[in-house]
Amino acid sequence: MSTLAGKHIVLGLSGGIAAFKSAELCRALVKAGVTVQVVMTEAAEHFMTAVTMQALSGRPVYTSQWDTREANNMAHINLSREADAIVVAPASADFMAKLLHGRADDLLSLMCLARPLDQVPLIVAPAMNREMWANPATRRNVAQLKLDRVHVLDVGQGDQACGETGDGRMLEAEDILEDLEAFFAPKILAGQHVLVTAGPTYEAIDPVRGITNLSSGKMGFAIARAARRAGAEVSLVAGPVHLPTPRGVQRINVQSARDMLDAVQAQVSQASVFVATAAVADWRPDAQADQKIKKDGSGQTPALKFVENPDILATVAQSARAQSGALFCVGFAAESHDLLVHAMAKRIRKNVPLLVGNIGPATFGQDDNALLLIDAAGARELPHASKLVLAQQLVADIAARLK
């Protein structure tokens, strides 16, 4: 369900060492179902060969405005008219300055200037040394390009080819791909603030042991990613999981159920949608030992007593904003059997308009799932698919309910 499938993108390369990442970006775009037409500046050819980009794109590469392959000798017109977008990656400081002033002394800059503004968006991925990125001239250029309706992506931070460290690196190919997915996705949640909980919680017994569960957090992270693509502002409260933060999502890390409740309560007043995906521990030890509980050789096990954890979903669902309809609450139920019966009962008990059920042992840690959507009218199945596909379907369902 890639939003890029079937798109035709002109991938422009200006001069810069980051051009090596453009090869991976080209490959990723093709894998996502995009037809890619590569256009390179003369400077770009010092860093990446046209042969490499032709092999990856499966199409002849254009490097000159005088290319005789075009019958009318107007490659800058023909290539731009066929495109769903022009993506320049890397976009050097010099090339962005060209765009700002409308200079057109090579095929790529000429094509950017000649593109139909309302039909062919221009997206640039800057790449330069940290001092060049921080220079006031570059900052002015970026600000003006945005005013001129050029979509300027963020830059990365880290080691640079010159040996320095800082902002200015071109984003990695997977980050640019995600930004392009978000750019083309229908903004069905525009104006909404979605708060998602994900992953397990960890309830400490002593400094080295605790109670948790097998939730990987993948479903919640996929929902956060899909909601961001759909145009929402997204906050993600994550239990102890080892997953990268989705692009453009604010992440708050927590450990215990009480930590998660505190984080949710700090965020929920700004949210319009709350999706409680996390597998929150129902109980915790009534006291945490200060030191590791040691075996003494007697064969006796320590006596543990438990107390019930706060119910995060029920707490939020009972709030005044949820009761008034200002906050739309979605609960999750991970069951081991009798999914429909238990999920329907949980929806009523938690007092939420939508409850999403799944079989926990069949999905924990997996990249795919199957969901059951339950509301007051009954149940609807979302068949087995990747968690991102299911997340997109769930987000579409939520958006329809909000309308």
**26 an active-site residue?**
no
Query: Which residues are CB-neighbours of 90 under 8 A, at least 6 positions away?
Result: 13, 14, 15, 16, 18, 19, 21, 22, 125, 126, 127, 170
Instruction: Give strand pairing partners of 130.
Output: none
Which 8-state DSSP code applies to residue 85? Answer: E
Integer Cα distance of 85 and 37 in angstroms = 11
Cα separation, 357 vs 344, in Å, equals 9
Active-site entry in 26, 112, 162, 329? 162
CA distance 146 to 301: 65
DSSP for residue 263: H
Alpha helix (H) residue ranges in 153-212: 173-184
CA pseudo-torsion sign 137, 140, 146, 149: negative
Taking the C-alpha atoms of residue 161 and residue 167, their distance in angstroms, rounded to an integer, is 12
By annotation, the residues acting in catalysis are 162
